[in-house]
Structure 1
């Protein structure tokens, strides 16, 4: 295969699909997700644009499922880019489910793909502006280190922190905690995988016009009073950022988080 491979989790819609459309100009695209019908529709759209692509069902909260995805991608050719955009927002599940998908899923994606990628590879973990907005005392930062050595203990401690809060708040707390962890974890992975020539970084989007963001659109619009740019973001804008981070010409960029929120956090 002449083109290098780009795997995009959560590639069936929103930011992931926009990124697939852009990255498809230079890469063979594998989009992944849990909803097969959504993936099939996305593949049809991408192919109509001339993008060489395929869909591969994957549940990122299941390590075995992620391993199958990584092995499949590596069997096709050189996996150059992984955009890990799959995730759950607060309205999509329980606190436990959100920790499993957003935190454990990031661990599984990074570990399994680092095992099949080589020099020049890039892993991009999509976090969230929300990671910057919650009080620091909420974050169980001392537990993050266990993600590198004792993942069962890490999971128990993350869930333990979430369960300290009233049940009605647990999904929201799980979301901000998991996204804060994702930023920390991407930075650590940059050091761990640097010797293999793999870059790892995270991108934290603000409020964007996506299907996932639709359920929280009213709240998002209320936050615009703090932003420098008084509108929601367009998925194509985050796609440009992700593609730029992955570009081999950005070969010195790793171990950091890039906040793309229209200046909202700065205005808080």
Structure 2
């Protein structure tokens, strides 16, 4: 462990698996107290907490359904109450529902917006009430905001594109307090949602400059940079980490 984030508290919404879990490990290893928000993966969240504690870090799992604004706000408030502060918010919860526009249900559309867009706004609004000047808000976006090269991804691409505009506006609102707001936008990353050996891997690699999936740890490293002091002048940005998918 190092002391980059010593004394700081991070809430990671959607932190039990994939990129969120890798981010929780990274920030905890660098000294942050980490609250892992989860919707349904209680076993995975508690296992991650135990893993972090065994490595000498401090972590807690908090049930927080991203689609439930009241529950999400309550979870963030509880973390701030528990530790007396909140310094870093990582919005990592997300859903991927695919289908052609003429068959895509309104229920799936509304759920996509609720988790991928509204939850980011709700969590950010709740977090900034507890943040001191210089806090950090980091969203996990997607390279599909820049390029959607296959059918069925309109709603998903729209939801991630919305975050680009949201961070620009929020960066202006929170700039006077020194709170930065940024997106990290991955391309194909080896997770349960999009495994490197999955059915679409070869096709995806054919669209990329680097012919491989990224790793969750690589994305977590960029999140750590944005959360740290060296990124104090970076805000309102949408930073691609996509192996040249959108190049």
Give TM-score scaled by structure 1 length: 0.81
Structure 1 residues 11 and 191: CA distance shift in structure 2, 3 A: same
1:186-213 Cα distance to aligned partner (Å, 9 max, x none): 1111111112221101110000011122
1:62-101 Cα distance to aligned partner (Å, 9 max, x none): 2211211221122113211111100101259822211111
Determine the structure 1 residue equivalent to 2:132: 118
Once the 2 structures are TM-superposed, how far is the Cα of residue 51 of structure 1 from its aligned partner? 1.8
* 2:74 is equivalent to residue 50 of structure 1: no
Tell me if structure 2 keeps the 8 A contact 1:9–1:85.
yes
Tell me if structure 1 keeps the 8 A contact 2:31–2:57.
no
Determine the structure 2 residue equivalent to 1:21: 25
Determine the structure 2 residue equivalent to 1:70: 76
SS at match of 2:131: coil
Determine the structure 2 residue equivalent to 1:227: 208
Of 242, 245, 253, which aligns to 2:223?
242
Of 47, 58, 64, which aligns to 1:41?
47
Q: Unaligned 5+ residue runs, structure 2? A: 1-5, 100-106
Of 92, 98, 101, which aligns to 2:115?
101
Of 83, 94, 99, which aligns to 2:90?
83
Tell me if structure 2 keeps the 8 A contact 1:33–1:56.
yes
Once the 2 structures are TM-superposed, how far is the Cα of residue 170 of structure 1 from its aligned partner? 10
Residues in 2 aligned to 1:89 and 1:6: alpha-carbon distance in whole angstroms: 25
Once the 2 structures are TM-superposed, how far is the Cα of residue 111 of structure 1 from its aligned partner? 1.2
Residues in 1 aligned to 2:131 and 2:151: alpha-carbon distance in whole angstroms: 36
Determine the structure 2 residue equivalent to 1:141: none
The 5-angstrom pairing of residues 143-162 of structure 1 reads none
Determine the structure 2 residue equivalent to 1:186: 167
SS at match of 2:206: helix
Once the 2 structures are TM-superposed, how far is the Cα of residue 53 of structure 1 from its aligned partner? 0.4
Number of residues paired by the alignment?
Answer: 232
Of 10, 17, 37, which aligns to 1:32?
37
Determine the structure 1 residue equivalent to 2:103: none
Structure 1 residues 200 and 194: CA distance shift in structure 2, 3 A: same
1:130-150 Cα distance to aligned partner (Å, 9 max, x none): 111149xxxxxxxxxxxxxxx
